[in-house]
A and B are shown apart, each in its own frame.
Chain A
Protein backbone atom coordinates (compact mmCIF):
# COMPACT_ATOMS: atom_id res chain seq x y z
CA UNK A 1 0.00 0.00 0.00
CA UNK A 2 2.78 2.41 0.86
CA UNK A 3 5.41 3.02 -1.77
CA UNK A 4 8.75 3.77 -0.15
CA UNK A 5 7.29 3.27 3.29
CA UNK A 6 9.46 3.09 6.36
CA UNK A 7 10.51 0.14 8.46
CA UNK A 8 10.74 -0.39 12.19
CA UNK A 9 14.40 -1.22 12.76
CA UNK A 10 14.54 -0.87 16.53
CA UNK A 11 12.06 -1.20 19.37
CA UNK A 12 12.12 -1.33 23.13
CA UNK A 13 9.82 -0.92 26.07
CA UNK A 14 10.51 -0.79 29.78
CA UNK A 15 9.19 -3.78 31.74
CA UNK A 16 5.45 -3.91 32.28
CA UNK A 17 4.94 -2.83 35.89
CA UNK A 18 1.75 -1.76 37.57
CA UNK A 19 3.49 1.13 39.34
CA UNK A 20 7.04 2.35 38.94
CA UNK A 21 8.19 4.19 42.04
CA UNK A 22 11.96 3.73 41.79
CA UNK A 23 12.40 5.68 38.56
CA UNK A 24 11.28 9.11 37.53
CA UNK A 25 9.20 9.41 34.37
CA UNK A 26 12.15 11.04 32.64
CA UNK A 27 14.38 8.10 33.56
CA UNK A 28 11.90 5.60 32.14
CA UNK A 29 11.76 7.57 28.90
CA UNK A 30 15.55 7.71 28.72
CA UNK A 31 15.71 3.93 29.21
CA UNK A 32 13.18 3.33 26.43
CA UNK A 33 14.88 5.69 23.96
CA UNK A 34 18.29 4.17 24.62
CA UNK A 35 16.90 0.67 24.34
CA UNK A 36 15.36 1.31 20.93
CA UNK A 37 18.55 2.90 19.63
CA UNK A 38 20.61 -0.02 20.89
CA UNK A 39 18.19 -2.43 19.25
CA UNK A 40 18.59 -0.54 15.97
CA UNK A 41 22.37 -0.58 16.32
CA UNK A 42 22.35 3.23 16.20
CA UNK A 43 23.26 6.10 18.48
CA UNK A 44 21.31 9.28 19.05
CA UNK A 45 23.64 11.02 16.58
CA UNK A 46 22.11 8.90 13.81
CA UNK A 47 18.62 10.24 14.51
CA UNK A 48 17.39 13.28 12.60
CA UNK A 49 13.95 13.71 14.09
CA UNK A 50 12.16 12.76 17.28
CA UNK A 51 8.40 12.34 17.60
CA UNK A 52 6.78 12.20 21.03
CA UNK A 53 3.30 11.78 22.38
CA UNK A 54 2.33 13.25 25.73
CA UNK A 55 -0.46 13.13 28.28
CA UNK A 56 0.02 16.17 30.53
CA UNK A 57 -2.67 15.50 33.12
CA UNK A 58 -1.77 11.85 33.67
CA UNK A 59 1.80 12.62 34.70
CA UNK A 60 1.20 16.14 36.00
CA UNK A 61 3.54 17.90 33.62
CA UNK A 62 2.17 20.80 31.58
CA UNK A 63 3.54 20.76 28.01
CA UNK A 64 5.06 17.49 29.08
CA UNK A 65 7.41 17.37 26.10
CA UNK A 66 9.51 20.07 27.80
CA UNK A 67 10.90 17.99 30.65
CA UNK A 68 10.83 14.75 28.66
CA UNK A 69 12.45 16.00 25.45
CA UNK A 70 16.02 15.51 26.66
CA UNK A 71 15.26 12.02 27.94
CA UNK A 72 13.82 11.12 24.54
CA UNK A 73 16.95 12.29 22.74
CA UNK A 74 15.48 15.50 21.36
CA UNK A 75 18.23 17.98 22.21
CA UNK A 76 19.64 19.46 19.01
CA UNK A 77 17.05 17.68 16.91
CA UNK A 78 13.75 18.31 15.20
CA UNK A 79 11.11 17.38 17.77
CA UNK A 80 7.36 17.19 17.25
CA UNK A 81 4.84 16.16 19.85
CA UNK A 82 1.67 14.51 18.62
CA UNK A 83 -0.55 14.83 21.66
CA UNK A 84 -3.68 13.05 20.45
CA UNK A 85 -2.32 9.50 20.89
CA UNK A 86 0.88 7.51 20.97
CA UNK A 87 -0.16 5.68 17.82
CA UNK A 88 -0.61 9.02 16.04
CA UNK A 89 3.05 9.75 16.81
CA UNK A 90 3.88 6.55 14.94
CA UNK A 91 1.67 7.54 12.00
CA UNK A 92 3.24 10.98 11.91
CA UNK A 93 6.74 9.51 11.81
CA UNK A 94 5.64 7.45 8.80
CA UNK A 95 4.37 10.61 7.08
CA UNK A 96 7.67 12.37 7.64
CA UNK A 97 9.68 9.56 6.12
CA UNK A 98 7.30 9.32 3.16
CA UNK A 99 7.64 13.10 2.74
CA UNK A 100 11.41 12.71 2.56
CA UNK A 101 11.72 14.93 5.64
CA UNK A 102 13.71 12.54 7.82
CA UNK A 103 15.75 9.40 7.34
CA UNK A 104 15.70 7.93 10.83
CA UNK A 105 13.12 8.88 13.41
CA UNK A 106 12.94 7.97 17.06
CA UNK A 107 9.34 7.75 18.32
CA UNK A 108 8.96 7.75 22.10
CA UNK A 109 5.69 7.25 23.98
CA UNK A 110 4.88 6.55 27.64
CA UNK A 111 2.35 6.43 30.41
CA UNK A 112 2.97 6.63 34.15
CA UNK A 113 -0.39 6.94 35.79
CA UNK A 114 1.12 6.11 39.19
CA UNK A 115 2.31 9.74 39.26
CA UNK A 116 -1.26 10.77 40.00
CA UNK A 117 -2.81 10.06 43.37
CA UNK A 118 -6.07 9.26 41.59
CA UNK A 119 -5.37 8.20 38.01
CA UNK A 120 -9.06 8.26 37.11
CA UNK A 121 -9.21 11.96 37.90
CA UNK A 122 -7.31 13.00 34.80
CA UNK A 123 -9.66 10.80 32.80
CA UNK A 124 -12.70 12.61 34.17
CA UNK A 125 -11.28 15.91 32.94
CA UNK A 126 -11.17 14.68 29.39
CA UNK A 127 -14.94 14.88 29.12
CA UNK A 128 -16.23 18.20 27.84
CA UNK A 129 -17.21 20.31 30.84
CA UNK A 130 -20.83 21.21 30.16
CA UNK A 131 -22.65 17.92 29.78
CA UNK A 132 -20.50 14.81 29.83
CA UNK A 133 -18.28 15.77 32.75
CA UNK A 134 -21.11 16.54 35.18
CA UNK A 135 -22.64 13.23 34.12
CA UNK A 136 -19.44 11.42 35.01
CA UNK A 137 -18.40 10.29 31.56
CA UNK A 138 -15.11 8.43 31.78
CA UNK A 139 -13.21 5.88 29.72
CA UNK A 140 -14.68 2.92 31.68
CA UNK A 141 -18.19 4.40 31.46
CA UNK A 142 -17.84 4.79 27.70
CA UNK A 143 -16.55 1.24 27.44
CA UNK A 144 -19.63 0.14 29.39
CA UNK A 145 -21.90 1.92 26.93
CA UNK A 146 -20.10 0.23 24.06
CA UNK A 147 -20.39 -3.19 25.66
CA UNK A 148 -24.05 -2.75 26.49
CA UNK A 149 -24.80 -1.63 22.94
CA UNK A 150 -23.07 -4.75 21.67
CA UNK A 151 -24.97 -6.96 24.12
CA UNK A 152 -28.25 -5.34 23.13
CA UNK A 153 -27.64 -6.20 19.50
CA UNK A 154 -26.12 -9.66 19.75
CA UNK A 155 -26.70 -12.54 22.11
CA UNK A 156 -23.62 -12.83 24.25
CA UNK A 157 -22.37 -16.03 25.86
CA UNK A 158 -20.65 -15.23 29.18
CA UNK A 159 -18.31 -18.16 28.46
CA UNK A 160 -16.96 -16.30 25.42
CA UNK A 161 -16.20 -13.25 27.57
CA UNK A 162 -14.47 -15.42 30.15
CA UNK A 163 -12.48 -17.10 27.38
CA UNK A 164 -11.15 -13.75 26.14
CA UNK A 165 -10.17 -12.74 29.65
CA UNK A 166 -8.41 -16.04 30.18
CA UNK A 167 -6.62 -15.95 26.83
CA UNK A 168 -5.32 -12.44 27.41
CA UNK A 169 -4.27 -13.16 30.96
CA UNK A 170 -2.53 -16.37 30.00
CA UNK A 171 -0.62 -14.72 27.15
CA UNK A 172 0.38 -11.79 29.33
CA UNK A 173 1.57 -14.14 32.02
CA UNK A 174 3.76 -15.87 29.48
CA UNK A 175 5.04 -12.55 28.15
CA UNK A 176 5.91 -11.05 31.50
CA UNK A 177 6.70 -14.25 33.37
CA UNK A 178 4.80 -13.33 36.50
CA UNK A 179 1.48 -14.20 38.00
CA UNK A 180 -1.06 -11.49 37.29
CA UNK A 181 -2.90 -9.71 40.04
CA UNK A 182 -6.55 -10.58 40.51
CA UNK A 183 -8.85 -7.78 39.43
CA UNK A 184 -12.09 -9.19 40.76
CA UNK A 185 -15.59 -9.10 39.43
CA UNK A 186 -16.91 -5.94 41.05
CA UNK A 187 -19.16 -4.15 38.58
CA UNK A 188 -17.72 -0.90 37.20
CA UNK A 189 -19.94 0.04 34.28
CA UNK A 190 -22.50 -2.56 33.43
CA UNK A 191 -21.97 -5.01 31.83
CA UNK A 192 -18.27 -4.55 32.61
CA UNK A 193 -16.64 -5.58 35.87
CA UNK A 194 -13.12 -4.71 36.97
CA UNK A 195 -11.67 -7.77 35.27
CA UNK A 196 -13.31 -6.82 31.97
CA UNK A 197 -11.49 -3.50 31.75
CA UNK A 198 -7.89 -2.71 30.81
CA UNK A 199 -5.52 -2.85 33.77
CA UNK A 200 -3.26 0.19 34.01
CA UNK A 201 0.50 -0.02 34.05
CA UNK A 202 3.52 2.27 33.90
CA UNK A 203 5.67 1.94 30.83
CA UNK A 204 7.79 3.84 28.32
CA UNK A 205 8.29 2.56 24.79
CA UNK A 206 10.19 3.62 21.71
CA UNK A 207 10.73 2.58 18.12
CA UNK A 208 13.18 3.64 15.46
CA UNK A 209 11.62 4.11 12.03
CA UNK A 210 13.92 4.30 9.04
CA UNK A 211 13.56 5.20 5.39
CA UNK A 212 14.08 2.24 3.05
CA UNK A 213 17.59 3.35 2.12
CA UNK A 214 18.66 3.29 5.76
CA UNK A 215 17.71 -0.33 6.37
CA UNK A 216 20.84 -2.49 6.26
CA UNK A 217 21.73 -6.14 6.67
CA UNK A 218 22.37 -5.41 10.33
CA UNK A 219 18.66 -4.82 10.83
CA UNK A 220 15.68 -7.09 11.03
CA UNK A 221 13.03 -4.73 9.73
CA UNK A 222 9.30 -4.74 10.09
CA UNK A 223 8.17 -2.88 6.99
CA UNK A 224 5.24 -0.53 7.27
CA UNK A 225 3.10 -1.50 4.33
CA UNK A 226 0.00 0.39 5.24
CA UNK A 227 -1.03 2.98 7.77
CA UNK A 228 -4.44 4.45 8.45
CA UNK A 229 -5.89 6.59 11.20
CA UNK A 230 -9.43 7.85 11.41
CA UNK A 231 -11.49 9.72 13.96
CA UNK A 232 -15.18 9.34 14.44
CA UNK A 233 -17.50 11.77 16.17
CA UNK A 234 -16.99 12.79 19.78
CA UNK A 235 -20.69 12.53 20.52
CA UNK A 236 -21.38 8.94 21.49
CA UNK A 237 -25.01 9.22 20.45
CA UNK A 238 -23.91 9.93 16.88
CA UNK A 239 -22.19 6.55 16.68
CA UNK A 240 -23.36 2.95 16.54
CA UNK A 241 -21.45 1.74 19.57
CA UNK A 242 -21.98 -1.91 18.71
CA UNK A 243 -19.13 -1.48 16.26
CA UNK A 244 -16.02 0.68 15.91
CA UNK A 245 -16.60 2.72 12.76
CA UNK A 246 -13.24 4.46 13.09
CA UNK A 247 -11.47 1.12 13.26
CA UNK A 248 -13.32 -0.15 10.19
CA UNK A 249 -12.36 2.95 8.23
CA UNK A 250 -8.76 3.00 9.45
CA UNK A 251 -8.48 -0.63 8.37
CA UNK A 252 -9.69 0.29 4.88
CA UNK A 253 -7.11 3.08 4.75
CA UNK A 254 -4.29 0.80 5.84
CA UNK A 255 -5.26 -2.51 4.24
CA UNK A 256 -7.22 -1.56 1.15
CA UNK A 257 -10.00 -4.08 1.57
CA UNK A 258 -10.21 -3.32 5.28
CA UNK A 259 -9.76 -6.96 6.21
CA UNK A 260 -6.96 -8.30 8.34
CA UNK A 261 -7.98 -11.91 7.77
CA UNK A 262 -4.98 -12.91 5.65
CA UNK A 263 -2.20 -11.73 7.96
CA UNK A 264 -0.44 -13.98 10.47
CA UNK A 265 -1.42 -12.06 13.57
CA UNK A 266 -3.30 -9.07 14.85
CA UNK A 267 -2.42 -6.99 17.88
CA UNK A 268 -5.52 -4.96 18.59
CA UNK A 269 -6.31 -2.60 21.44
CA UNK A 270 -9.35 -3.63 23.44
CA UNK A 271 -11.44 -1.20 25.46
CA UNK A 272 -12.95 -4.14 27.36
CA UNK A 273 -13.30 -7.91 27.19
CA UNK A 274 -16.61 -7.53 25.37
CA UNK A 275 -15.12 -4.74 23.26
CA UNK A 276 -12.67 -7.26 21.81
CA UNK A 277 -15.50 -8.83 19.80
CA UNK A 278 -16.46 -5.63 18.00
CA UNK A 279 -12.78 -4.85 17.46
CA UNK A 280 -12.23 -8.18 15.70
CA UNK A 281 -15.33 -7.58 13.60
CA UNK A 282 -14.18 -4.07 12.63
CA UNK A 283 -10.92 -5.56 11.38
CA UNK A 284 -12.82 -8.01 9.20
CA UNK A 285 -11.79 -11.07 11.21
CA UNK A 286 -15.40 -12.11 11.76
CA UNK A 287 -18.84 -11.07 10.66
CA UNK A 288 -21.12 -8.81 12.73
CA UNK A 289 -21.86 -10.40 16.10
CA UNK A 290 -19.35 -13.17 15.47
CA UNK A 291 -16.26 -11.62 17.03
CA UNK A 292 -16.37 -14.11 19.88
CA UNK A 293 -15.52 -16.88 17.46
CA UNK A 294 -12.08 -15.39 16.79
CA UNK A 295 -11.18 -13.07 19.67
CA UNK A 296 -9.85 -15.73 22.01
CA UNK A 297 -8.07 -17.67 19.29
CA UNK A 298 -4.63 -18.72 20.48
CA UNK A 299 -1.54 -19.62 18.55
CA UNK A 300 -3.08 -22.81 17.19
CA UNK A 301 -5.25 -21.65 14.31
CA UNK A 302 -6.04 -24.72 12.23
CA UNK A 303 -7.39 -22.64 9.34
CA UNK A 304 -4.32 -20.41 9.27
CA UNK A 305 -6.38 -17.44 10.36
CA UNK A 306 -4.60 -14.71 12.28
CA UNK A 307 -3.78 -15.08 15.94
CA UNK A 308 -5.34 -12.30 17.98
CA UNK A 309 -3.23 -10.57 20.61
CA UNK A 310 -0.49 -13.13 21.17
CA UNK A 311 1.10 -10.62 23.58
CA UNK A 312 -2.02 -10.60 25.71
CA UNK A 313 -2.83 -7.14 24.44
CA UNK A 314 -3.75 -4.22 26.59
CA UNK A 315 -6.39 -5.81 28.84
CA UNK A 316 -3.72 -7.11 31.26
CA UNK A 317 -1.27 -4.25 30.64
CA UNK A 318 -2.69 -0.91 29.59
CA UNK A 319 -0.18 1.94 29.64
CA UNK A 320 -2.64 4.82 28.96
CA UNK A 321 -1.43 6.98 26.10
CA UNK A 322 1.06 4.26 25.09
CA UNK A 323 -1.47 1.41 25.02
CA UNK A 324 -2.24 1.75 21.31
CA UNK A 325 1.39 2.36 20.41
CA UNK A 326 2.27 -0.85 22.24
CA UNK A 327 -0.06 -2.79 19.94
CA UNK A 328 1.88 -1.46 16.94
CA UNK A 329 5.18 -2.21 18.65
CA UNK A 330 4.08 -5.73 19.58
CA UNK A 331 2.98 -6.47 16.01
CA UNK A 332 6.29 -5.18 14.63
CA UNK A 333 8.29 -7.23 17.13
CA UNK A 334 6.58 -10.43 15.96
CA UNK A 335 7.71 -9.68 12.39
CA UNK A 336 11.21 -8.94 13.66
CA UNK A 337 11.33 -12.16 15.68
CA UNK A 338 11.82 -10.12 18.84
CA UNK A 339 8.61 -10.91 20.67
CA UNK A 340 10.39 -12.92 23.36
CA UNK A 341 8.36 -15.52 25.21
CA UNK A 342 5.28 -14.89 23.07
CA UNK A 343 7.10 -15.06 19.73
CA UNK A 344 5.07 -17.02 17.20
CA UNK A 345 6.78 -19.71 15.17
CA UNK A 346 7.42 -19.81 12.35
CA UNK A 347 8.23 -16.12 12.40
CA UNK A 348 5.19 -14.22 11.09
CA UNK A 349 5.49 -12.51 7.73
CA UNK A 350 2.61 -10.12 8.16
CA UNK A 351 0.97 -8.52 11.15
CA UNK A 352 -1.60 -5.85 11.85
CA UNK A 353 -1.33 -3.47 14.80
CA UNK A 354 -4.54 -1.65 15.68
CA UNK A 355 -5.09 1.06 18.27
CA UNK A 356 -8.16 2.75 19.70
CA UNK A 357 -8.33 6.13 21.35
CA UNK A 358 -10.92 8.30 23.07
CA UNK A 359 -14.30 7.42 24.54
CA UNK A 360 -15.51 4.07 23.18
CA UNK A 361 -12.84 4.04 20.48
CA UNK A 362 -13.56 7.46 19.00
CA UNK A 363 -10.45 7.19 16.87
CA UNK A 364 -8.50 4.26 15.52
CA UNK A 365 -5.13 3.60 13.91
CA UNK A 366 -4.20 0.55 11.87
CA UNK A 367 -0.73 -0.38 10.66
CA UNK A 368 0.21 -3.30 8.42
CA UNK A 369 3.70 -4.67 9.02
CA UNK A 370 5.42 -7.17 6.76
CA UNK A 371 8.75 -8.94 6.68
CA UNK A 372 8.97 -8.33 2.94
CA UNK A 373 9.24 -4.69 1.82
CA UNK A 374 6.91 -5.52 -1.06
CA UNK A 375 4.16 -6.45 1.35
CA UNK A 376 1.87 -9.43 1.73
CA UNK A 377 2.31 -11.90 -1.09
Chain B
Protein backbone atom coordinates (compact mmCIF):
# COMPACT_ATOMS: atom_id res chain seq x y z
CA UNK B 1 0.00 0.00 0.00
CA UNK B 2 1.30 3.44 -0.86
CA UNK B 3 0.29 6.69 0.77
CA UNK B 4 0.40 10.17 -0.67
CA UNK B 5 0.26 13.45 1.20
CA UNK B 6 -3.01 15.39 1.14
CA UNK B 7 -2.94 17.65 -1.90
CA UNK B 8 -5.15 20.71 -1.64
CA UNK B 9 -4.73 21.51 -5.29
CA UNK B 10 -6.03 18.11 -6.27
CA UNK B 11 -9.27 18.78 -4.38
CA UNK B 12 -10.03 22.11 -6.01
CA UNK B 13 -12.57 20.48 -8.29
CA UNK B 14 -13.97 18.23 -5.57
CA UNK B 15 -17.61 18.71 -4.62
CA UNK B 16 -18.16 21.00 -1.64
CA UNK B 17 -21.80 20.29 -0.82
CA UNK B 18 -24.14 17.35 -0.37
CA UNK B 19 -27.84 18.16 -0.72
CA UNK B 20 -30.28 16.60 1.75
CA UNK B 21 -33.94 17.12 2.52
CA UNK B 22 -35.80 15.86 5.55
CA UNK B 23 -39.42 15.17 4.72
CA UNK B 24 -40.77 13.70 7.92
CA UNK B 25 -44.51 13.64 8.32
CA UNK B 26 -46.57 13.26 11.45
CA UNK B 27 -50.06 12.62 12.73
CA UNK B 28 -49.95 14.18 16.17
CA UNK B 29 -52.44 12.85 18.72
CA UNK B 30 -54.25 15.84 20.17
CA UNK B 31 -55.79 14.32 23.30
CA UNK B 32 -59.34 14.95 24.43
CA UNK B 33 -58.88 18.47 25.79
CA UNK B 34 -57.29 19.97 22.69
CA UNK B 35 -59.74 18.00 20.56
CA UNK B 36 -62.67 19.54 22.43
CA UNK B 37 -61.15 23.00 22.08
CA UNK B 38 -60.80 22.62 18.32
CA UNK B 39 -64.33 21.21 18.07
CA UNK B 40 -65.58 24.26 19.98
CA UNK B 41 -64.06 26.54 17.36
CA UNK B 42 -66.49 25.14 14.80
CA UNK B 43 -69.25 26.56 16.99
CA UNK B 44 -67.27 29.80 17.42
CA UNK B 45 -66.75 28.92 21.08
CA UNK B 46 -63.47 29.76 22.84
CA UNK B 47 -62.84 27.19 25.55
CA UNK B 48 -60.38 27.28 28.40
CA UNK B 49 -59.78 25.04 31.39
CA UNK B 50 -59.44 26.08 35.01
CA UNK B 51 -56.71 24.84 37.33
CA UNK B 52 -58.24 23.84 40.67
CA UNK B 53 -55.10 24.89 42.55
CA UNK B 54 -54.14 28.32 41.22
CA UNK B 55 -57.62 28.91 39.81
CA UNK B 56 -56.24 30.41 36.62
CA UNK B 57 -58.39 29.99 33.54
CA UNK B 58 -55.90 28.59 31.06
CA UNK B 59 -56.72 29.55 27.51
CA UNK B 60 -56.44 27.92 25.04
CA UNK B 61 -57.59 24.83 26.95
CA UNK B 62 -55.00 22.52 28.49
CA UNK B 63 -55.51 19.30 30.35
CA UNK B 64 -53.00 20.19 33.07
CA UNK B 65 -51.57 23.30 34.68
CA UNK B 66 -47.82 23.38 34.26
CA UNK B 67 -47.31 25.76 37.17
CA UNK B 68 -49.13 23.61 39.76
CA UNK B 69 -48.54 20.30 37.97
CA UNK B 70 -52.21 19.47 38.49
CA UNK B 71 -54.89 18.32 36.07
CA UNK B 72 -57.33 21.06 35.13
CA UNK B 73 -60.95 20.43 36.03
CA UNK B 74 -63.62 22.75 34.67
CA UNK B 75 -64.31 24.14 31.24
CA UNK B 76 -64.43 27.93 30.98
CA UNK B 77 -65.84 29.74 27.96
CA UNK B 78 -63.91 32.95 27.48
CA UNK B 79 -65.14 36.19 25.91
CA UNK B 80 -64.60 37.50 22.42
CA UNK B 81 -63.08 40.74 23.63
CA UNK B 82 -59.82 41.36 25.40
CA UNK B 83 -56.55 43.25 25.34
CA UNK B 84 -53.43 43.07 23.25
CA UNK B 85 -50.56 41.83 25.41
CA UNK B 86 -47.69 41.79 22.89
CA UNK B 87 -47.19 41.86 19.17
CA UNK B 88 -44.73 42.15 16.32
CA UNK B 89 -45.21 43.37 12.78
CA UNK B 90 -43.38 41.07 10.42
CA UNK B 91 -41.93 42.49 7.21
CA UNK B 92 -39.68 39.60 6.31
CA UNK B 93 -40.77 36.40 4.58
CA UNK B 94 -39.45 33.39 6.51
CA UNK B 95 -38.63 30.42 4.29
CA UNK B 96 -41.10 27.59 4.75
CA UNK B 97 -43.77 29.68 6.44
CA UNK B 98 -46.73 30.19 4.17
CA UNK B 99 -47.78 33.68 5.07
CA UNK B 100 -46.92 36.82 3.17
CA UNK B 101 -45.61 39.83 5.06
CA UNK B 102 -46.47 42.30 6.33
CA UNK B 103 -48.69 40.98 9.09
CA UNK B 104 -49.22 41.50 12.81
CA UNK B 105 -48.58 38.47 15.00
CA UNK B 106 -49.94 39.04 18.48
CA UNK B 107 -50.85 37.56 21.83
CA UNK B 108 -54.15 38.77 23.29
CA UNK B 109 -55.71 38.02 26.66
CA UNK B 110 -59.45 37.54 26.29
CA UNK B 111 -62.10 38.37 28.89
CA UNK B 112 -62.29 35.63 31.48
CA UNK B 113 -58.90 34.14 30.58
CA UNK B 114 -55.81 34.48 32.74
CA UNK B 115 -53.47 33.70 29.86
CA UNK B 116 -53.08 35.01 26.32
CA UNK B 117 -53.44 33.28 22.97
CA UNK B 118 -51.52 33.82 19.76
CA UNK B 119 -53.24 35.02 16.60
CA UNK B 120 -53.09 37.51 13.78
CA UNK B 121 -54.22 41.09 14.36
CA UNK B 122 -55.92 42.08 11.14
CA UNK B 123 -57.39 45.25 9.72
CA UNK B 124 -54.42 47.56 10.27
CA UNK B 125 -52.68 49.46 7.48
CA UNK B 126 -49.08 48.28 7.73
CA UNK B 127 -47.53 50.23 4.89
CA UNK B 128 -45.99 52.69 7.36
CA UNK B 129 -44.64 50.89 10.40
CA UNK B 130 -44.34 54.06 12.47
CA UNK B 131 -47.99 54.93 11.96
CA UNK B 132 -49.11 51.36 12.55
CA UNK B 133 -47.19 51.03 15.81
CA UNK B 134 -48.67 54.27 17.09
CA UNK B 135 -52.12 52.67 16.94
CA UNK B 136 -51.40 49.57 19.01
CA UNK B 137 -49.51 48.76 22.18
CA UNK B 138 -49.68 46.49 25.21
CA UNK B 139 -53.17 46.98 26.65
CA UNK B 140 -54.94 48.03 23.43
CA UNK B 141 -58.51 46.60 23.43
CA UNK B 142 -59.21 44.00 20.76
CA UNK B 143 -62.08 41.82 19.65
CA UNK B 144 -62.13 38.34 18.21
CA UNK B 145 -63.42 37.75 14.67
CA UNK B 146 -64.31 34.29 13.41
CA UNK B 147 -64.21 33.04 9.88
CA UNK B 148 -67.68 32.48 8.39
CA UNK B 149 -66.87 28.81 7.98
CA UNK B 150 -64.71 27.69 10.90
CA UNK B 151 -63.07 24.32 10.29
CA UNK B 152 -61.80 23.57 13.78
CA UNK B 153 -58.30 24.99 13.73
CA UNK B 154 -56.81 27.96 15.53
CA UNK B 155 -56.67 30.14 12.43
CA UNK B 156 -60.49 30.10 12.43
CA UNK B 157 -60.30 33.26 14.52
CA UNK B 158 -58.18 36.37 14.65
CA UNK B 159 -58.07 39.72 16.41
CA UNK B 160 -59.17 43.16 15.28
CA UNK B 161 -59.05 46.47 17.11
CA UNK B 162 -62.11 46.89 19.35
CA UNK B 163 -62.32 50.48 18.18
CA UNK B 164 -61.25 50.57 14.54
CA UNK B 165 -58.60 53.16 13.81
A22 on the interface (CB 8 Å rule)? yes
**B29 near A118 (CB under 8 angstroms)?**
no
- Report chain A residues within 8 Å CB of B69: 30, 33-34, 43-44, 73, 75
Interface residues, chain A, CB within 8 Å of chain B? 20-27, 30, 33-34, 43-44, 57, 59-60, 69-71, 73, 75-76, 112, 114-118, 121-122, 125, 129-130
- Report chain A residues within 8 Å CB of B31: 22-24, 26-27
**B18 near A115 (CB under 8 angstroms)?**
no
**B27 near A117 (CB under 8 angstroms)?**
yes
A317-B33 Cα distance, complex, nearest whole Å: 28
B26 on the interface (CB 8 Å rule)? yes
1-41 of chain B: CB within 8 A of chain A: 18, 20, 22, 24-34
Lowest 3 A-B CB distances belong to which pairs?
A70-B66, A24-B31, A60-B26
Closest to A122 in B: B24
A20-B31 Cα distance, complex, nearest whole Å: 10
A-B contact pairs, 25 of them (CB 8 A): A20-B29, A21-B29, A22-B29, A22-B31, A23-B31, A24-B63, A26-B31, A57-B22, A57-B24, A60-B24, A60-B26, A70-B66, A71-B64, A73-B69, A75-B67, A75-B69, A115-B29, A116-B24, A116-B25, A117-B25, A117-B27, A121-B24, A121-B25, A122-B24, A129-B20
- Report chain A residues within 8 Å CB of B29: 20-25, 112, 114-115
Closest to B20 in A: A129
Q: A24-B30, A24-B63, A118-B25 are in contact. List 16 more A-B contacts (CB 8 A).
A: A20-B29, A21-B29, A23-B29, A23-B31, A24-B29, A26-B31, A27-B33, A27-B64, A30-B71, A33-B69, A59-B26, A69-B66, A71-B64, A75-B66, A75-B67, A76-B67
**B27 near A115 (CB under 8 angstroms)?**
yes
Query: Separation in Å of the B97 CB from the closest CB of chain A?
Result: 14
Query: Separation in Å of the B18 CB from the closest CB of chain A?
Result: 6
- Report chain A residues within 8 Å CB of B22: 57, 125
Closest to A129 in B: B20
- Report chain B residues within 8 Å CB of A70: 64, 66
Closest to A130 in B: B18
- Report chain B residues within 8 Å CB of A24: 28-31, 34, 63
**B63 near A116 (CB under 8 angstroms)?**
no
Interface-centre pick from B22, B66, B69 (highest chain A CB count, 10 A): B69
Chain B 51-72 near chain A by CB (<8 Å), digits 1 or 0: 0000000000001101101010
- Report chain A residues within 8 Å CB of B32: 22
A71-B66 Cα distance, complex, nearest whole Å: 6
A71-B67 Cα distance, complex, nearest whole Å: 10
- Report chain A residues within 8 Å CB of B24: 57, 60, 116, 121-122, 125
**A30 near B64 (CB under 8 angstroms)?**
yes
- Report chain B residues within 8 Å CB of A34: 69
Known pairs A22-B31, A44-B69; A30 contacts B26 (CB<8 A): no
Query: Separation in Å of the B53 CB from the closest CB of chain A?
Result: 11
- Report chain A residues within 8 Å CB of B66: 69-71, 75
Query: Separation in Å of the A66 CB from the closest CB of chain B?
Result: 12
- Report chain B residues within 8 Å CB of A75: 66-67, 69
A116-B18 Cα distance, complex, nearest whole Å: 26
Query: Separation in Å of the A370 CB from the closest CB of chain B?
Result: 31
Cross-interface CB contact of A115 among B20, B26, B64, B71, cutoff 8 Å: B26
Query: Separation in Å of the A356 CB from the closest CB of chain B?
Result: 24
Closest to A202 in B: B29
A366-B20 Cα distance, complex, nearest whole Å: 36
**B64 near A60 (CB under 8 angstroms)?**
no
Query: Separation in Å of the A25 CB from the closest CB of chain B?
Result: 7
**A30 near B28 (CB under 8 angstroms)?**
no
A25-B32 Cα distance, complex, nearest whole Å: 12
Query: Separation in Å of the B132 CB from the closest CB of chain A?
Result: 30
